[in-house]
Structure 1
Amino acid sequence: MLRNVAVLALEGSHAFELGVFCEVFGIDRSDEALPVYDFALVSAKGGSVPTRHGFDVHAPHGPERLSCADLICVPAFDIGVRQPDGLIDGLCAAVERGARVLSICTGAFLLGQASLLDGRRCTTHWRYTEELARRHPRALVESDVLYVDEDPVITGAGTAAGVDTCLHLVRKEHGSTVANAIARRMVAPPHREGGQRQYRERPHPREGTGSLTPLLDWIEAHLDQNLTVEDMARHAHLSPRTFARHFQQETGTTPAQWLTTQRVLLAQHHLETTDAPITAIARRAGFGTVDNLRHHFARRLGVTPQSYRRTFRPPHQES
């Protein structure tokens, strides 16, 4: 179980990515019955560390604090700044004893320096994927995803994708109800798939097409129905081809992939919070049959619905 979190304050750290770790893992939310972590900022020697923005961050702990962490978080930093060997050694020793490491953006370069990406799928901000692959040729760099979970090494793409990466781990450890509650506190999307494309520069939607938010709300209210791309396009008053292009531009994924993600999330919610039979949940989530539900659960989460319920359903709800 994830309880002890250490966040590296690196020389040249980027404040946003460092702040994401502090926001997700460093705030006491016990008033909402959400997990509270033993949280620490760690630097190479302990003390003040200069960020890339011209101010210092005080990290009271040195590398020895990594020895008891369940999770070590690595923020983005200026990759021209070589980090001390003590941090590298601490990372390697932690992973060897069973800890996880999670990087955001260029934080992956530190994992590469520690040889933790060798033979593993990984990612970073799309601007740096070629450089990461050049510096660490044994890493299996994926250039256009939000995050990659190669447990115990988890790598996230740039900036806002760090929120997705952290919430993914929270969801994996504590279930979707906890992850969604933290997302609401952060006013962040509750879930984006790791395989969703990064938001590279791409053509803007045609002027006048407007936001798809009303359509997405309508889809979420009708997940139990047999929705097709044609149905969604008709509701948006667009041709299927134009709709599919506009949907990809606004959400970064296809209508079918987005629909499946929402159905899996709805099924997770019912499995965590209700006594409903699996057959009923499959119908409510729009999968129709238990076999379809199992198939998509296995592809997205790597577990069966029954196993998910046993893991994440609060004990007081067991029948």
Structure 2
Amino acid sequence: MPHVSMVLTPGFQFLALGVQAAFELANVLKGEEYYTLSIASVEGGPVTSSSGFAVPTTRLDDVGPVDTLLLLAGLVPPPPQEEATLDRLRAMARQSRRVAGLCTGAFLLGQMGLLDGCRATTHWSYARQMREAFPGVRVEDDRIFINEGAVWTSAGLTAGLDLAVALVEKDLGREIAGSIARRLVMHHRRAGGQSQHSELLELAPSSDRIQKALIFARSHLANPLTVEELAEVAALSPRQFARAFRAETGQTPAKAVEQMRLEAARLMIEETRHPMDQVARESGFLDLRRMREAFMRQYGQPPQAVRRLARSAQANVAR
């Protein structure tokens, strides 16, 4: 009977505790108590969340054998932990089948030395901080979650639920994992390789006119999408449109369109088996050469490498 222990640190975010729902629902769907659950901390006793509410916890050493160790932290990365604390976490991780750092909990794994030489992710807004703190870790800030052997990391708080469902899928199969996702009203179970955020949301223009032009561009990526075409959609002159667009988004229209094309192409590459030349045409790059150049500028690797990484991640989850 696998035991899942969620380990809290002071200042943890309550939402992170929601990952237990995936394991609870697995028990419901199995019709038996397949997983047992505990909420623990290194010292035990009440642990205060970022919102000021305390949660009772069991002392980690008293939890008993742990199959899956989940490290939960807060809205900001946890400060460096005392070496004695890290030693106790390392000891428990060694005894566990797998360990996961949810959102900023990945920083705890980094402090424990479990991410050295590995790929890892965390909330995109702290990716740079993680790279600086742990130069031996290959931080990928555009991933929902990453599985490196027995070590898992996830992006922002809700991505922890995607990771939890993936853990259940490893144990009990895709059918139960899919049922859990439906019960949790998740739009779909996101694969680990999916991007953390949308370029359209990232641009966040303030006026309806610029927003309308962006939505049009997103829906017509195969069009040339010149400044003149987008300006016409926004009912502005090309000069007015270019000036307003940069003021509201901080980017030129051409750069924004390229970012949306990259996002669309990457999703097609990761989630479909379309030939690369078809992906290039449908995302508006016209040909594979232009798409490859854009991928090298943005991601530092060609489209074929992105597809290989996505398939490798999917294979890891399926095992």
- For normalisation by structure 1, the TM-score amounts to 0.65
Aligned-pair distance for 1:254? 2.5
Gaps of 5+ in 1: 212-232, 262-294, 312-319
User: 1:178-209 deviations in whole A, cap 9, x for unaligned?
Assistant: 11111111111332221211116523595388
> CA 1:115 to 1:300, structure 2 compared with 1: closer, same or farther past 3 Å?
closer
Question: 1:11: which partner in 2?
Answer: 10
**Matched residue of 1:133: which SS?**
helix
Question: 1:199: which partner in 2?
Answer: 197
RMSD in angstroms over aligned alpha carbons?
3.6
2 CA distance for matches of 1:137 and 1:72? 24
Question: 2:167: which partner in 1?
Answer: 169
> CA 1:27 to 1:88, structure 2 compared with 1: closer, same or farther past 3 Å?
farther
> CA 1:69 to 1:80, structure 2 compared with 1: closer, same or farther past 3 Å?
closer
Aligned-pair distance for 1:76? 2.7
> CA 1:81 to 1:50, structure 2 compared with 1: closer, same or farther past 3 Å?
farther
2 CA distance for matches of 1:33 and 1:242? 55
**Matched residue of 1:254: which SS?**
helix
1:255 aligns with 2:272: no
1 CA distance for matches of 2:187 and 2:314? 18
Question: 2:286: which partner in 1?
Answer: none
2 CA distance for matches of 1:25 and 1:114? 26
Q: Find the structure with the greater CA-based Rg.
A: 2
Partners of 1:44 and 1:86 within 8 A in 2: no
Question: 2:71: which partner in 1?
Answer: 74
Give the structure with the higher percent helix: 2
Aligned-pair distance for 1:31? 5.7
Question: 1:240: which partner in 2?
Answer: 222
> CA 1:187 to 1:87, structure 2 compared with 1: closer, same or farther past 3 Å?
farther
2 CA distance for matches of 1:71 and 1:15? 19
Aligned runs of 1:1-319 on 2, under 5 Å?
3-19=2-18, 21-26=19-24, 29-30=27-28, 33=31, 36-59=34-57, 61-65=58-62, 68-77=65-74, 78-83=76-81, 85=83, 87-199=85-197, 202-203=202-203, 206-207=211-212, 238=220, 240-241=222-223, 254-260=267-273, 299=312, 301-302=314-315
Aligned-pair distance for 1:87? 4.3
2 CA distance for matches of 1:87 and 1:27? 32
Aligned-pair distance for 1:114? 0.9
Aligned-pair distance for 1:140? 1.8
Partners of 1:3 and 1:36 within 8 A in 2: yes
- One-letter code aligned to 1:207: K
Partners of 2:80 and 2:111 within 8 A in 1: no
2 CA distance for matches of 1:245 and 1:206? 16
1 CA distance for matches of 2:311 and 2:270? 15
How many residue pairs are counted as aligned between the two chains?
A: 245
Gaps of 5+ in 2: 205-209, 226-256, 275-307
> CA 1:82 to 1:27, structure 2 compared with 1: closer, same or farther past 3 Å?
farther
Q: What fraction of aligned residue pairs are identical, expressed as a percent?
A: 28
> CA 1:68 to 1:259, structure 2 compared with 1: closer, same or farther past 3 Å?
same
Partners of 2:102 and 2:157 within 8 A in 1: yes
2 CA distance for matches of 1:107 and 1:149? 14
Aligned-pair distance for 1:131? 1.0
2 CA distance for matches of 1:74 and 1:186? 22
